[in-house]
Amino acid sequence: MPGKSQEKEKLIDKEGKRVDGRQLDELRPIKLEVGILSSADGSAYIEQGKCKILAAVYGPREAHPKHLALPDRALLQCRYHMAPFSVEERKSPAPSRREVELSKVIRESLEPAVFLEYYPRASIDLFIEVLQADGGTRCAGITVAALALADAGIPMKDLVVACAAGKADGKLVLDLCDSEDKLGEADVPVAFMPTLDAITLLQMDGNLTLEEFEQAVNIALTGCKQIYKLQKEALKAKYVALKEATE
Ligand code: ADP
């Protein structure tokens, strides 16, 4: 894509370490928390490196606007939004074309996991608020949104977990940060349902050979599987804490 700069910035040093000190196949540190908002039906929070994202779910509830209601299944409505203070230069709070596109992409990557047919004419409303962005917000947004849906008690076939792989300084790397995303050669975000072994999102930005593309998808999937474990732990942690509080 035109934004992919070919600048000769050093993204990988002589020791093979990345700009933030990570190995090529290393995820950013991840923190996940479930059920943090009392007024939403479901909620979750993720920190992935410097990214900080909150997801809230309302529903299933009556669809608004009503004419959007579907006769045979629930409508999943998703709004991905970046806070004005989430990036260095103030971002306009009005939805940008990128946010409209990402809202659609995230919705489509989650829909296969939800039993939408259980709630005809209803709406499940999902809000993803990026509080701080540092690359890979669509993937972290999907990971945290799936947790918020599960926290809302919405029946799901599987969790959805997402992670990107890409190419920086000629090397394939896992979980790109902002500078790798902007200055690197390629970015391949993947969303995955681990139990069903099904990919629900596969995009590519930049240039890769067919062989590199296949390797990048596999690297992204290894990241997804690691994050999936953290998702399950975060869900469990909420119920362990609830149990302890009632004992
Ligand atoms: P993703 O966040 O899924 O990687 P993009 O590739 O479109 O999506 O964006 C990459 C990164 O660019 C974002 O994570 C964020 O750090 C940065 N970014 C996006 N929009 C803006 C903006 N309006 N101003 C500054 N940085 C931005």
CATH code of 9's domain:
3.30.230.70
Task: Tell me: pLDDT of 30 over 60.
Answer: yes
Rounded distance from Cα 236 to ligand 1 centre (Å): 31
**C-alpha span between 76 and 123 (Å, rounded):** 6
For a substitution probing ligand 1, which of 137, 176, 177, 179 has the most ligand atoms within 8 Å of its CB? 137
Q: Are strands 205-206 and 161-168 parallel, antiparallel or unpaired?
A: unpaired
**C-alpha span between 173 and 12 (Å, rounded):** 10
CB contact at 8 A, 230 and 32:
yes
Task: Tell me: pLDDT of 74 over 50.
Answer: yes
For the ranges 101-110, 220-229, 237-246, which has the lowest average pLDDT? 237-246
pLDDT of 128 reads 98
For a substitution probing ligand 1, which of 28, 81, 87 has the most ligand atoms within 8 Å of its CB? 87
DSSP, collapsed to helix, strand or coil, labels residue 18 as strand
Which amino acids bring their CB within 6 angstroms of ligand 1? 87, 89, 91, 98, 133-138, 178, 181
DSSP, collapsed to helix, strand or coil, labels residue 227 as helix
Strand runs labelled E in 63-158: 75-82, 122-132
CB contact at 8 A, 110 and 126:
yes
Rounded distance from Cα 106 to ligand 1 centre (Å): 15
Q: Are strands 75-82 and 122-132 parallel, antiparallel or unpaired?
A: parallel
Average pLDDT for 182-209: 97
CA-based angle 99:202:180, to the nearest 5? 70
Minimum CA distance residue for ligand 1 atom 21: 87
Question: Which pTM value belongs to this model?
Answer: 0.95
Q: With cut-offs at 50, 70 and 90, classify the pLDDT of residue 1.
A: very low
Task: Tell me: pLDDT of 99 over 80.
Answer: yes
**pLDDT tens for each residue of 119-156:** 999 999 999 999 999 999 999 999 999 999 999 999 99
pLDDT of 246 reads 83
Positive or negative, the CA dihedral 197, 203, 206, 207 is positive
Domain that holds residue 127: 2-246
Rounded distance from Cα 133 to ligand 1 centre (Å): 7
> With left for phi above 0 and alpha for psi between -120 and 50, is residue 114 left, alpha or beta?
beta
Rounded distance from Cα 232 to ligand 1 centre (Å): 27
Q: With cut-offs at 50, 70 and 90, classify the pLDDT of residue 13.
A: very high
Minimum CA distance residue for ligand 1 atom 26: 87
CB contact at 8 A, 124 and 60:
yes
The larger pLDDT score, comparing residue 53 to residue 9, is at 53
For the ranges 46-50, 227-231, 239-243, which has the lowest average pLDDT? 239-243
Average pLDDT for 232-245: 90
**C-alpha span between 82 and 156 (Å, rounded):** 27
Task: Tell me: pLDDT of 4 over 60.
Answer: no
Into how many domains does the chain fold? 1
pLDDT of 2 reads 46
Mean pLDDT of the chain, nearest integer: 95
End-to-end CA distance of the chain: 56
Task: Tell me: pLDDT of 110 over 90.
Answer: yes
Q: With cut-offs at 50, 70 and 90, classify the pLDDT of residue 7.
A: very low
